[in-house]
Amino acid sequence: MRVVEQVPGSGGPASSVVGDAVGDHLVGFYDDEGHLERAVVSFLTPGLEQGGAGVIVATPAHRTRFVTALRRAGVDVDDALADDRLVVLDASDLIEAFLRDGTPDPDEFRRSVGDVMARAGQGGRPVRVFGEMVALLWERGNVPAVIALEDAWNRLADEHPFALFCAYPIHAFDDSAAAEAFRAVVDCHSHVLPSEALDDDGGPNTSARLVALLEQQANAERAERDRLQVRQGELEAELERLRDLDRLRNEFVSMVVHDIQSPATVVAALLELLRSNWASLPADAVEEHLATALESIRRVERLTSDILTVARIDSGQFSYVLRSLDLRSVVEQAVTGVRDATGRHIELSAPSDLAPVCADADRQLQVLTNLLTNAVKFSAEGTVVTVAIEQQTDRQLVHVRDEGIGIARNEQVALFLPFSRLHDRRDRQARGTGLGLHTAKALVEGQGGRIWVDSEPGKGSTFTYTVPLADT
């Protein structure tokens, strides 16, 4: 482990993060969110400004905070995101991509995280990574997984060179019994950046490892006397959460207004065209214009349906009418509806002797319509969308396959999150509000099933969900 020199008058170790090289593995501890923000920005900004890449793997609150701070620091965030020089991922979702039985699976870690590193480092760009997956695992009490993940990062650096900055809230080590595990965490890193609590004089830190160990012990003792401050911390965290919710609400309202305004504009223009030229338009042109207007209205209907469904699920007011039904008939209804609305070729394959399932017919129809609409949206005209029902012992599987653009592995992590929007690599434009797949996941799980995706860029996607069989 190398010693980290603090710059006098710089406000702490955050400024010293800037000079770290590819291959370095830093760990920082923080009391204050502002201190963490400054450290992360000072770590990522120089690389991004010099044409390198940055990766942020963090909680939703921190992702928002760091991206906002990078903008304030003068980084062209939108350009970096569009060029894959800035990759922002959810720490919890990425953990689930490689955690198996509470332990990081080395192969899954190499695939999921290695893909992200390869994407960011394309063209030989130097990569700087900030991650707090280890901090989340520590908060869960899974210390062995923390150490294993730190080691996995170190091994991955041999394949995809990068500089890595991990951060832990110092209060995570309040318990004096955590001293041994704390030492193990420190030993996994090449640099140690103690928190702002021991940075009063701004002088050089001559033994970062010793300072960090002493800080942990002092903080554990201090925590025993300062429990009354817990409530204040909880209130600050709640305030931060409310700010994030307010930001999400504003972004969502903007997206919804856009996604309603666009089809409304189309309908208004077509109606004006028909009103002004009704007598001179041939019948087939009238039919085409009316079909376009109808599809625009249906887009608004699907959007409002998804919004209402998500709102009712989130408020706990959503219920299901579960009964024994023939799933094939529901699938046929969905296929016919989307086929008629889009004119696309959709094939259905199902055994003739399907057992009845236990499900809500209306919600099954909503799930299938969302998946089929998505398949059509992200595949070219002339390609085939296929729906297949597979009978198993205690459930049926519904597969919706397309021959479209596919989805990169790193994008699959956040695919079913609300407001997560796919990017079409053909035009680099975000499409839709991101509620369709989130709604489908909630409805499938609410009926006792689960949903997942198998996809590769350029090879199409297969969305699969399960439906329990009815009791016989």
Residues 6 or more apart whose Cβ sits within 8 Å of residue 61:
240, 241, 244
pLDDT at 195 over 70: no
Residue position matching structure tokens 């397309």: 402
pLDDT value of residue 86: 95
Q: Helix H segments across 85-207?
A: 91-98, 106-120, 133-139, 143-159, 179-187
pLDDT at 447 over 60: yes
At 221, the amino acid letter reads E
Domains of the chain are 13-225 (3.40.50.300), 247-314 (1.10.287.130), 323-468 (3.30.565.10)
pLDDT at 356 over 90: yes
Higher pLDDT, 468 or 305: 468
pLDDT at 63 over 70: yes
Q: Which of 35-39, 292-296, 342-346, 389-393 shows the lowest mean pLDDT across its residues?
A: 292-296
pLDDT at 92 over 60: yes
- Mean pLDDT of the region 20-38: 83
Confidence of residue 220 (pLDDT cuts 50, 70, 90): low
Q: Helix H segments across 163-229?
A: 179-187, 208-225
**0.75 surpassed by pTM:** no
pLDDT at 273 over 90: no
pLDDT value of residue 171: 79
At 241, the amino acid letter reads R
- Mean pLDDT of the region 193-214: 54
Bridge pairing between strands 345-349 and 384-391:
parallel
pLDDT value of residue 15: 39
Distances (CA, A) of 11 to 34, 196, 381: 12, 8, 58
Q: Which of 190-194, 263-267, 333-337, 399-403 shows the lowest mean pLDDT across its residues?
A: 190-194
How many other C-beta atoms can be found within 10 angstroms of the C-beta atom of residue 343?
Answer: 11
pLDDT value of residue 78: 93
pLDDT at 118 over 70: yes
**What is the Cα–Cα distance from 400 to 405, expressed in whole angstroms?**
15
DSSP state of 197: G
pLDDT at 144 over 70: yes
Residue position matching structure tokens 């370095």: 24
Confidence of residue 211 (pLDDT cuts 50, 70, 90): low
pLDDT at 318 over 90: no
pLDDT at 18 over 50: no
Higher pLDDT, 398 or 214: 398
Which of 231-245, 254-268, 361-375 is predicted most confidently?
361-375
Confidence of residue 408 (pLDDT cuts 50, 70, 90): confident
Higher pLDDT, 82 or 10: 82
Confidence of residue 300 (pLDDT cuts 50, 70, 90): confident
Using DSSP, state whether 248 is helix, strand or coil.
helix
How many other C-beta atoms can be found within 10 angstroms of the C-beta atom of residue 163?
Answer: 24
Nearest to residue 343, comparing CAs of 381, 301, 298, 379? 381
User: CA Rg, the chain, in Å?
Assistant: 26
pLDDT at 34 over 60: yes
Q: Which two tokens stand for residue 267?
A: 């309908």
Nearest to residue 195, comparing CAs of 25, 13, 5, 61? 13
Provide the percentage of residues in the chain whose pLDDT is more than 90. 42
Bridge pairing between strands 451-455 and 461-468:
antiparallel
**What is the Cα–Cα distance from 401 to 417, expressed in whole angstroms?**
21
How many other C-beta atoms can be found within 10 angstroms of the C-beta atom of residue 71?
Answer: 12
CB under 8 Å, gap of 24 or more: what pairs does 310-314 form? 310/418, 310/435, 310/438, 310/439, 310/442, 313/442, 313/446
